[in-house]
Chain A
Amino acid sequence: MTGAVPASAVQGGIDADQASVRGTGWLRRHRAIVACAAVVAAALVLVLWAQLSPKGDAVPLSVHNAGPDGARAVAQILGSHGVAVNDAGNYGEAMAALEAGSSPTLLLYDRNGFLDGPRLRNLAGSAKRVVVVSPRLQTLDALDAGIRQAGVVPDAYPVLEPGCSLPDPQAAGTVSGESGFLYDGGTSCYRPDGSGAGLVAVSSDGQLTVVGSTAIFSNGQLDSLGHAALAIRTLGPSPDLVWYIPTLEDLDTGGSPASLDELAPDWVRFLGPWLALVALAAIAWRGRRLGPLVFEPLPVVVKAAETAEGRARLYQDSRAVDQARDNLRAGTLVRLSVHLRTGPGATAGQVIEAAAEFLGRPARELRELINERPGTEARLVAWSRELDTLEKEVKSR
């Protein structure tokens, strides 16, 4: 009994070793699945992280946008100088803020022309001063302050001089003319040479200021040239500033065309329900069974080779190379013994010698082959093939 304890301990050690080998083996066998799972998990984490992280504002000239084309910097500077910057999300909020403020200034940046004429006029009417950034033709027409579009700043003028008598441009000095628009009418400043239109235009009554470049207010270029001075002087004269960037919400949808539902003829409403009724009838027709089902007693039938196959799987799972070798060797010896007629009592040695004599090969060679103990599965496969070949050789003579 005492001798058995260390033996079982050794056995346990081997088992643990095999378990770790099997672990890596599993990984190797399923590496495609593991890689796919890892990629999916990583993507999931990324998406979740992107969803959960606070969302920045990417709208150009938005007061919440801290990017190069945002306008958070100028809004904060104005705020620190006592100007209440009121960010209006839509038309209603803008109107409410304009009416609440005292002599407010409105900054309007309507890139896509979402606002229609009446709303623009309402806004302009409520504000003391209106600063419009890069307005479209319709916007200018609606405001009707005598300022017109006049093309773009030529590439030859990256920097524009004030060149006018208005105090703000005079104080600010040069500004960048890159990708700017020119406006004509009223008092225009920052004119390229030989042009009557300028980057900044102020209507004759001074209520409307048109600025043809977003660069002047943007975070990215606020600190270059005279941008900061021009922006602050333009937006800062009054204590209230309403910052309004119209969005898709501000489109007036009042006169939109009729929906598909309204266009369809009356009978379409009844077609669906009636077809559903037909479907119900069809279900009742096909679904009604012609009498109850009949019970079929099924006998138990098992594949006879199932036990042998189960044993084969057991051998493989436990890597019973020795057991498999013993079985194959015994089977081969029995068949050789029957074929060579050595009699039922013949020992393995006698059968091997009879086979060697029969084949005319040295007995030692055959004995080594038949008595070999393959250590690995690969060797077992090769050995069993050699055994098979030997058997066929004997039987073919």
Chain B
Amino acid sequence: MAISGRFVLLVLLGVVPVLLLPGWGTVLLVSGVLAALAAVDLLASAPLRTVSLLRTQPGNVTLHAAVDAVLTVRNDGGRRLRGVLRDAWQPSAGAQNAVQDIDVPAGESRRVTVRLRPVRRGDLRAPHATLRSFGPLLLAARQRTVQCPGSLRVLPPFHSRRHLPSKLRKLRELDGKAAVQIRGAGTEFDSLRDYVRGDDVRSIDWRATARRSAVVVRTWRPERDRRVVMVLDTSRTSAARIDDETRLDTGMEAALLLGVLAERGGDRVDFLAFDRRTRARAGSAGQGNLLGQLVQAMAPLEAELIEMDWPAVPAQVRAVSAHRSLVVLLTSLDGGAPEEGLLPVAAQLARQHVVVVAAVRDPQLGTMLGERDDATGVFRAAAAERALLQRAAISAELRQHGVSVVDAEPHQLPPRLADMYIRLKAAGTL
């Protein structure tokens, strides 16, 4: 049961007879007439028991993109359904027109399209939809809420995609496809070919040249079919917001760029989100393309407010890949935890694998460092200095154990991690 603005206007108009013929009798009469009108209208409205809703699941969408969610309203009753439909998406789904007028003749169905512009990553839900059916006078309405669960998976935006072309070009340069050959780029002997001006003279293969009249050079190609294992830390430290996104989101961006790049580089990629148990897993071994698998695996991830179980990480990595691999740990270097958790595990992994630790640095610390105006500012600078020194100490210790460290600000982390991968590949250490 609900009333319309039109009914309120009618009640306001009721003041005219009340003022013209003042008296309690008039008041009662006018109120009675109004109530009777509303009751008649309510009884004449289309019953909602016979209306059914069918939802077409909108599927996947990347963050900040738009998608249409479709609801089909079917009216099996004998009266025309005129009213309002509200598709109850959760607020972060950003429904542009959640409340819409509907007009469904008896025995027919109509489609209602709601435009969604999600503002958060993850699985967004619409548990129910609400129907309001007005009578012919549009004064009063029946209302009913129908359970028809809908779900929309919002995928990580992959903003770091814009770095992909340049990084792929760098990778191809390694691959011997570019005109300029760099000696030592890669470790595997590829083929012999004629010397072209500009080639490194050190790469001339004299033995082959002796057999032929022309000068012949050797070409190399980078190693292929190596394993890349990315471990994304989803523990409490990943809930920290730096600039406009959490560490978790920055880690995802970096993992996506590295994953796509490594796959193009001919390597096998595995992704693992872990805190105390495995939150998500994806890899080249699965069905479909890697990027799709990665974003699907990452979409529902949230930072869990628990401590990372570092000692369990080597076993997880071993379960993914038994061979020597590039292990990328996307985590943080802050606080007192790394000494106990990250350091020994990274050192242990580094004995078998090539380990890279990628962490986001907070640009705010750099800003705080420059505050020298008053005592408050200087104390802030001192605190920031301490945080940065701690990070530097941990980085130095990691490097001592043969672990590479990528410590960069949020928008810099994905390309820097990609650079690190290309460098390792070029050095042939994988």
Contacts and interface: CB of A to CB of B under 8 A. Distances in A.
B145 A292 contact: yes
Interface string A210-230: 000000000000000000000
Contacts of B388: 331
B90 A294 contact: yes
Interface string B375-393: 1111111111111110010
Interface in B154-203: none
A377 interface: yes
Given A285-B3, A327-B382, A381 B90 contact: no
B128 A315 contact: no
A294 B88 contact: yes
B426 to A, nearest CB: 25
Given A273-B27, A302-B239, A311-B383, A285 B7 contact: yes
A40 interface: no
B88 A384 contact: no
Interface size class of A (residues with CB under 8 A): 35 or more
A69 B383 CA distance: 77
Contacts of A291: 86, 88, 128-130, 143, 145
B335 A307 contact: yes
**Secondary structure of the A side of the interface?**
helix
Interface string A251-274: 000000000000001110111011
B362 A278 contact: no
A33 interface: no
A385 B14 contact: no
B31 A277 contact: yes
A271 B383 contact: no
Contacts of A331: 369, 385, 388-389
A290 B143 CA distance: 8
B18 A294 contact: no
Interface stretch (B58-66, B240-248, B253-261, B279-287): B240-248
Contact of A277 (B11, B20, B305): B11
Contacts of B368: 305, 308-309, 312
Contacts of B302: 299
A21 interface: no
Contacts of A308: 362, 364-365, 368, 380, 383-384, 386-387
A287 to B, nearest CB: 10
B411 interface: no
A269 B335 CA distance: 73
Given A284-B3, A294-B126, A311-B386, A316 B89 contact: no
A307 B241 contact: no
B5 interface: yes
B15 interface: yes
Interface in A294-322: 294-296, 299-309, 311-313, 315-316, 320
A313 B396 CA distance: 28
B72 interface: no
A316 B371 CA distance: 14
Contacts of B322: none
Contacts of B396: 344
A380 interface: yes
A388 B372 contact: yes
B389 A304 contact: no
Given A302-B240, A324-B382, A384-B381, A270 B364 contact: no
Contact of B375 (A294, A304, A381): A381
Contacts of B385: 327-328, 330-331
A293 B374 CA distance: 49
Nearest to A289: B130
B92 interface: yes
A357 to B, nearest CB: 25
A384 B31 CA distance: 79
A302 B334 CA distance: 14
A334 interface: yes
A288 interface: yes
A271 B381 contact: no
Instruction: Give 4 nearest A-B pairs by CB, closest first.
Output: A291-B130, A324-B382, A304-B240, A312-B383
Interface of B: 1-5, 7-8, 11-12, 14-15, 18-20, 22-23, 26-27, 31, 84, 86, 88-92, 99, 125-130, 132, 143, 145, 239-242, 246-247, 302-303, 305, 334-335, 360, 362, 364-365, 368-370, 372-389, 392, 396
5 contacts: A288-B143, A304-B360, A311-B387, A312-B384, A330-B389
Given A291-B129, A304-B364, A315-B383, 16 more contacts: A267-B20, A271-B15, A273-B27, A277-B11, A290-B143, A291-B143, A301-B241, A304-B334, A309-B380, A320-B379, A324-B382, A327-B382, A327-B386, A334-B392, A344-B396, A378-B375
